[in-house]
Every structure is written in structure tokens, then in C-alpha cells.
Structure 1
């Protein structure tokens, strides 16, 4: 063998030995183990650029314990105090108003027959649930009324406190509105308050949550059922309240929420023959509308609570005025000694 052939064979053997050593140094791979792949530059860029899509809330009406869309399919834009879009609220039709009255009438028998203690416990449970969703209502009130977060939180706290205050009146209002009457004769004469029936409630336009609860709670705590028309400009807290009521112990139909144009919905309720009373708080800033609704309500002798001042201080002590507004007095005579 020539020297040149020997050198070539020696180099080949050395290379094979080095390759074998390198192979031995590599970590052993399990059979079937996938091979690691380096992500492409395109995939890495897509991961960094990924942005979440906003999940927008769909607001619906609250009728008979359910959440239907408006029968007409109409909605209207709700904006914040700066004019920026917040949501699309359902715009109730006359058919929606009639459906709400039917639901309220159906629920009236059971709700009015419930004990005062039971009604108070249910309202207190609602207050607990409002407290649990405090952050949500704070954000909605802040957007609706142009308040700072601290001011909106104070409004929500006052609203929950107002609800608890009215809940406590459930088994006490009879002592204020009823009593024994002295009569000339051997009889006991007793007066006791009873609920009026189905009440249409126009919530204040400027106080989207505190004012709303201030007119709604006294209606239902005394055994009435309600068809609520929230603030036209700021209906979102009222629609979210419907979600709380639906998951509480409140029977379906006791409260029904109809967002939309106040004048349009209220006109149907004011003339409806199965509505027993109407609260015109939401028409405080429109004397012409208030007069029209009062005239329509006279057709079936509805009990009407006229609107107060449009800039009413809803944070003030409410007193018992609204508790007594939608109560009827039943008088019973009973012979003595029997």
C-alpha cells in the first residue's frame, strides 16, 4: 500500500471515530417522540399582534320573569354624558306594554296574598344581590349620569340602602295606614290597607338608579305589581336590575321593565283598562306629557300620583308618602261580644 493510500485510510478512520463520539454525546430520543420545531417568524408575529374582541352586552326587556326582545324588533342608541355610544336598548312597542300588563295582573294574586314578612325577606334578598353587583352598577351609573367613579359608587350605596329601608317597611306600613276606629255602637271598626293592583311606574329621567328604586320599591313592598318604564336617556341600570330580579326570589311578573320612548310606552299604560294606578315621576320635565297621561288615566279612574319637581333630590329622606300612595283602605265591622 502506498503512503498516499495509507494517509487517506487514516483520515477516514479518524473522521468516523469523531462522528461516533458526537453521536454518543447526543441525548437519547424516545421512540416516536416528536421533533422540536422552531416557530416561524410569521407565527410569532401573529401571536404578539393578537387583540381580544369586545364582547358587547345585549340588553333585553324584562316581562313575566323572562327576557324577550322588543316585539317590534326595534332598538335605540344609548349614549353616555359625552355622547359616546354605550349600547343598544330595546324600544318597547304597544304590544310589549300590553304583555307586561298581562304578566303583572297574573302575578298580582300571589304577590298580594304573600305575608308582609315574606315580601320583606324577598326585597332584602334583592338588596343582597345588588350589593354583590355593586361594581357593575357603579360603572353603568357613572356612564349614564357623567359622574366620577367615587360619586357613582356613593349613588349605588344609597340605592342599596334605600331598597333595604323599604324592605323593612313591609310589616310596619299596616300600623301607619290602618287602625281601629271609634264608632257609636257595639262594634269593632277596623281599617286595614290593601294593595291597589297593577301600577305603571315612570321612573325619573335624571336619576337612573337611585330615583328608579325610590319609586319602584314602595310600589311592590306594599303588595302591588309594577310595569316600570325607566329613564329614556339612561335605561341600562334598570335593565340590569331586571337581571337581578330574575335570579332573586321575586315571582315573575311582579316587576316588568320596558325601555323605550317614555311618551310612547306611557301612553299605552295610561289608557290601559287593566292598569289600576300610575306614577308620573318620569314626566316631571314635560308638563304637556303629564297632562295627557293624566287625562288618559281618568278613563278608568286610575289612581294618579302627579309628578314632582324635575330636579327632585332623590337622596333626601323619602318618608312614607310613596308607601301610602298606592294602597286602598278596607274597613271591617265586627259586633262586640261575638
Structure 2
């Protein structure tokens, strides 16, 4: 009989590519579907949220300026690393959602496949969201999509990994950065995902993962002047209404909560939700002495 003590996993936040504890020092107990203790998770504060926004804003320039091909490579690398830790995530999702091992495995496999799916979309966004526009005059008028900026997300509450990936991946595939508040009752797969992202070539600050109460953390994010958009996937109706009101102060884009089958084809709705359209006019024909023709 072994006399070793159990080595329990310490779960931490993922902010700016690092793993801090909550600045408040608080934690809360996470239990499985039967009420059995699984771990203590950090109980994030509003200060943690502000720190995450600073990290996301700092990372935005480099991430949005990377080539679409490079972003696709990095998202694919996330899928590779997640595949390598598949057994760990199957166990965590099974505990988090009260699923059998086979059903949890299906959820994890779908989450891995979703990273691959979005990796393939990074260099195709401009093809479906951009184009040339007919104008009355000797001009080229070209519209192209550009990332919105910093996006704050309330993760789905019931789908601890697949739903989480389904709201993070489209944001970063399009060149924006994200601050996500994980499922309050099932945060452990999200916090473990931070460990995967840290070893997957994702620059620090591109994805920031907080655990705790969305009702405590998110109002400050919704009102934050350096947050450009919100995805309220996991917010209830009352919280979503308050967050939309706060978001109106600097005209944030808002994706409202709605019933979603996270296992279904995600389409491009979330991918396009966090793109802005830039339009450029350029004269055609001769520009006069020393000019060029186009």
C-alpha cells in the first residue's frame, strides 16, 4: 500500500500568458454533478478583470497585425496540444458535466475539431466579408474586414469545453483578443485550457481566462472603455440586460445570449460578429504628371 500523499492540482487564472492567483486571494469550491469536491478555483475580482483587459489590449496590436496564415497555424497548434492532453480533458469534462467517459470524449473531440475548423477560416474571412464596391466615378472602392479589438465573453454555463472553445476560437481567428469568464459551476476545463494555450504559440494576452462569478466580474468589463465588444453567450436574461446597458456607453458590439447547440456546425456568425469594415477609395486612370494608372 502506497504511503504517498495525493498531489492535488492547483488551478489558476490565465492572464497575459501567466498563471496568477486572484489578486483578492479568494477561491471557491468546485464540485461534480453529485456534489463531490473536485478542486478550489480562483474567485476572480473586478481588478483581475481590469488586469486581463490591459493584457488583451497590449496583445492586440501584434495579434491583429499577424498574417492570417500565421494565426491559422497557431490555432491548429492549439488543436495539436489539446489532442495530446485528451485524456485529462475527457476526465475533467466528464466530472464537470456529469457525462459518461464516452460522451465526454465526444465533447473533447468536437472541441479539438472546432479549433481545426477555425484554423482553416483565418485566411478566408476577407473573401466572404470583403470585396470591391460599384461606385459612380473614376475610383476603386474596396472594403476589407479588420478585427474589432478586445472582446469580453461570458462563456456558456453548461458546455464547459466545447461551448468555451466555440466562443473563444472565432474571436481570435479573426484577429481580436479575448477576456473570457468561464462557466461558474464548471470552470476547470477552461482553466486547464489556459495551460494548453500557454504551450501552443498563442502570444501572451491574446486569450485571458478568469473563473468566478460573471455577475461580479462582468459589469466592470461591460462598462470598460477599452473593451470593444461583448459576447454574452452564458449570461442569463437579467444579467444580459444590465450588461447591454453598460455596453452602450461606448457603443460596444454585443452578441446577445440565445439557445445554441454547441455540437452543431457553428457557421460564420460569431466569426463575423467581431469584424469591422474598412473602406478605401482610390482613383483610377491617369493621376496627371508623374501619376500612375490602375
The TM-score with structure 2 as length reference comes to 0.96
Give 1 or 2 for the bigger CA radius of gyration: 1
Question: As a proportion of its length, which structure holds more helix?
Answer: 1
The match for 1:230 among 182, 186, 191 is 182
Shift of 1:216: 0.5
Determine helix, strand or coil for the equivalent of 1:282: coil
The match for 1:317 among 250, 265, 270 is 265
Partner of 2:290: none
Alignment of 1:140-289 (within 5 A): 140-283=92-235, 286-289=236-239
Distance 1:107 1:317 in 2: 29
Shift of 1:336: 1.0
Determine helix, strand or coil for the equivalent of 1:218: helix
The match for 1:105 among 39, 57, 62 is 57
Shift of 1:62: 0.6
Shift of 1:50: 4.2
Shift of 1:52: 2.4
Cα RMSD (Å)? 0.8
Determine helix, strand or coil for the equivalent of 2:282: strand
Partner of 2:48: 96
Partner of 1:328: 276
Q: Does 1:52 align with 2:4?
A: yes
The CA deviation string for residues 54-101 of structure 1, in whole angstroms up to 9 with x for no partner, is 100000001100001100000000000001100000000111101000
Which protein has greater RCO, CA pairs closer than 8 Å, 6+ apart? Answer: 2
Partner of 1:69: 21
Aligned length: 286
Over 2 Å off, 4+ runs? 49-52
Mark the runs of 5 or more structure 1 residues left unpaired by the alignment. 1-48
The TM-score with structure 1 as length reference comes to 0.84
The CA deviation string for residues 102-131 of structure 1, in whole angstroms up to 9 with x for no partner, is 000000000000000000001001110000
The match for 1:291 among 241, 263, 280 is 241
